[in-house]
Amino acid sequence: MTKGPKPYVARRGTHTEIAAAMVAIYNAYWANRVSRQAIAEEISATWEDVVRWSHQISEPDLETATKITAWYKKRWPDWRDHGRKAA
């Protein structure tokens, strides 16, 4: 039996971590947990930017990316555990 590749662990501030935060924000809006205005105001970006980033999964400028990641972590402190089963 062969083993698959090791899972990628996102380091702080990496593209993967930022992209995950952006997608989570986008999903939070669609789950009606957060209003688009609250998202845009808090990260000082437009809602269209959040949508574009979540679709492109491309890294925005570092300042905005940091705000997005911090915004998500503040609301869901257990964000790294989403999708994982408790041991």
Instruction: Give the DSSP letter string of 18-57.
Output: HHHHHHHHHHHHHTTSS-HHHHHHHHTS-HHHHHHHHHHT
> CA nearest 55: which of 22, 11, 10, 6?
22
**Tens digit of each residue's pLDDT (9 = 90 or more) over 32-68:** 666 767 776 766 666 677 666 666 554 556 666 677 7
Quote the CA–CA distance of 21 and 19 in Å, as a whole number: 5
pTM (predicted TM-score): 0.34
Please report the pLDDT score of residue 9 as a whole number: 46
